[in-house]
């Protein structure tokens, strides 16, 4: 049984409101008006007056001992996980809808306010069939378009110019037209009766979610994501001995993850990180200091903090500053401070890694070795006591041709050392994603999935040839470290 792929990117006029983020430039004009030219006031970091609720020792204990798996579901006891139907893991309550004719602003408000990670797009409100999706990767791309960061190729210049003129005139931009900027996530479906073997085959290709439909129809009954499947196999691991036996082994011994890493220096402008994620087809990006120590993480999901005009100055401020805003916002929402916990080391067990992924709802964990001394971080004695992996003497780093970035003077600048828990990470040495873990489960169960690294290369080649580019050469020369790290 094969998953089906479809999309509808046709453009038709509509009458809804659109996100208006400053003046959207038209590429044929001689002057490109910036996002911030008509905006005033730079929001200070709300972290300045907050006190962390966990001590350094308490945080280290949390990092070393993440939450354990939940109770086992007796409905799956004694069953082969490969024969479980994908429909058994889904519920229609998770489905959120939006219509193609909805304005991009309305669609974004629904996405953010519903708490969903994706909206299914349909033609009419009485329809149960989905034809596309709208998620935070799409929102990132639209924000880059609205702020003049995307550059179309010659063939698609008329489409780009038409959308830019609408935005400048304050006209509505329906979701249908916004989707013409390009699809960032493949639209895949499976019938509810398909088993998890088929789901893993699709997820092994780097697809993050599958739309589940009724057998023989296009009616949607749920959404299955990589994270939901990993969480299910984690919580019910004792029902599946082949998978349960893997959890006690280390990442290094299992040989999973990728040595090809793409990171951004924390002193670089946030807009460069967003362009990089868009151009490389990434959902998150490691933020490092000058010694390649991981000091934070930026994901597409965090872009929801940039949808108000008052947030415009954040694009020109540093990635480190944006991380402080992310953590402070989480702290205000959760009632306590948050800390970056998106890292593991090569000797972390698979159980430790999966527990962190499930707890943080992240798509990947950065693999780090011992911290290296730098002006922005201090070495943690606890980290020094852990086994370290020799760092390769050479790596590929693109030259820096642009002048150094100077933070906005009216916005407080945040250093890497100011981030709580930042000195508990280490030097970036690799990455383990949900795709890697599901690929491991498939191989352990006798399947022959595609190599995740090859899929990543294909996805990046596909992204590199897409119609919309965010000045990648400039972004790379100023902010990117691309390294092939050997363990």
In sequence order, the β-bridge partners of residue 349 are 250
Mean pLDDT of the region 172-190: 86
Q: What's the rounded Cα separation, in Å, for the pair 136 and 138?
A: 5
More confident residue, 212 or 386: 212
Q: Give backbone dihedrals phi and psi of 36, rounded to 5 degrees, phi first.
A: -100, 0
Give residue 132's pLDDT: 94
Confidence of residue 136 (pLDDT cuts 50, 70, 90): very high
Give residue 152's pLDDT: 78
Contact 295, 387 (CB under 8 A): no
Please state, rounded to an integer, the average pLDDT across all residues of the chain. 75
pLDDT at position 375 over 70: no
Residue 200 gets the label, from left (phi > 0), alpha (psi -120 to 50) or beta, of: alpha
| pLDDT tens by residue, 221-249 | 999 999 999 999 999 988 899 999 999 99
Q: Where are the alpha helices (DSSP H) in 27-117?
A: 56-64, 104-114
Does an H or E element contain 162, and which? helix 157-168
**DSSP-assigned letters across all residues of 387-420:** --PPPPS---B----SPPP---TTS----GGGST
| Cα-Cα-Cα-Cα dihedral sign, residues 182, 185, 186, 188 | negative
Contact 426, 289 (CB under 8 A): no
Q: What's the rounded Cα separation, in Å, for the pair 358 and 368?
A: 19
Give residue 42's pLDDT: 45
Identify the top-confidence range among 73-77, 210-214, 241-245, 360-364.
Answer: 210-214
Mean pLDDT of the region 292-297: 92
Q: Give backbone dihedrals phi and psi of 401, rounded to 5 degrees, phi first.
A: -105, -20
Q: Which of 114-118, 229-233, 422-426 is predicted least confidently?
A: 422-426
Identify the top-confidence range among 46-50, 203-207, 348-352.
Answer: 348-352
Output Rg (C-alpha) for the chain, integer angstroms: 22
């Amino acid at each position: 049984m094969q998953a089906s792929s479809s999309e509808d990117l046709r453009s038709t006029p509509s009458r809804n409101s659109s996100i208006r983020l400053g003046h959207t430039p038209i590429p044929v004009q001689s002057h490109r008006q910036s996002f911030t030219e008509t905006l005033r006031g730079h929001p200070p970091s709300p972290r300045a007056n907050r006190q962390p609720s966990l001590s350094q020792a308490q945080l280290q204990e949390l990092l070393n001992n993440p939450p354990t798996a939940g109770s086992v579901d007796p409905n799956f006891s004694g069953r082969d996980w490969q024969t479980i139907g994908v429909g058994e893991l889904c519920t229609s309550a998770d489905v959120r809808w939006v219509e193609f004719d909805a304005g991009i602003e309305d669609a974004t408000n629904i996405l953010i306010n519903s708490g969903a990670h994706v909206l299914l797009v349909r033609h009419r409100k009485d329809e149960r069939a989905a034809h596309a999706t709208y998620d935070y990767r799409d929102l990132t791309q639209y924000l880059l378009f609205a702020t003049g960061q995307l550059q179309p190729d010659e063939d698609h210049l008329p489409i780009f110019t038409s959308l830019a003129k609408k935005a400048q005139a304050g006209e509505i931009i329906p979701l249908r037209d916004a989707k013409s900027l390009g699809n960032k996530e493949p639209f895949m479906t499976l019938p509810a009766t398909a088993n998890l073997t088929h789901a893993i085959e699709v997820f092994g290709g780097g697809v993050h979610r599958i739309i589940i439909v009724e057998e023989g129809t296009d009616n949607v009954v749920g959404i299955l994501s990589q994270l939901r499947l990993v969480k299910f196999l984690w919580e019910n691991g004792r029902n599946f001995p082949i998978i349960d036996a893997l959890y006690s082994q280390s990442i290094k011994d299992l040989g999973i993850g990728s040595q090809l890493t793409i990171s951004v220096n924390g002193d670089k402008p946030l807009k460069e990180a967003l362009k990089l994620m868009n151009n490389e087809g990434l959902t998150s990006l490691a933020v490092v200091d000058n010694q390649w120590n991981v000091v934070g993480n930026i994901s597409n999901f965090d872009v929801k903090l940039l949808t108000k005009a008052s947030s415009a100055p954040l694009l020109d401020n540093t990635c480190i500053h944006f991380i402080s805003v992310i953590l402070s916002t989480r702290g205000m929402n959760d009632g306590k401070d948050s800390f970056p916990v998106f890292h593991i080391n090569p000797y972390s067990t698979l159980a430790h890694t999966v527990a962190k992924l499930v707890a943080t709802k992240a798509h990947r964990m950065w693999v780090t070795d011992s911290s290296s001394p730098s002006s922005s971080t201090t070495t943690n004695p606890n980290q020094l006591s852990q086994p370290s992996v020799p760092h390769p003497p050479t790596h590929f780093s693109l030259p820096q041709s642009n002048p150094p970035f100077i933070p906005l003077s009216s916005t407080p600048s945040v250093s890497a050392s100011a981030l709580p828990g930042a000195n508990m990470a280490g030097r970036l040495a690799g990455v383990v994603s949900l795709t890697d873990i599901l690929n491991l489960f498939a191989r352990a169960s006798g399947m022959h999935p595609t190599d995740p690294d090859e899929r990543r290369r294909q996805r990046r080649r596909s992204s590199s040839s897409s119609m919309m580019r965010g000045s990648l050469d400039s972004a790379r020369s100023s902010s990117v470290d691309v390294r092939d790290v050997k363990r």
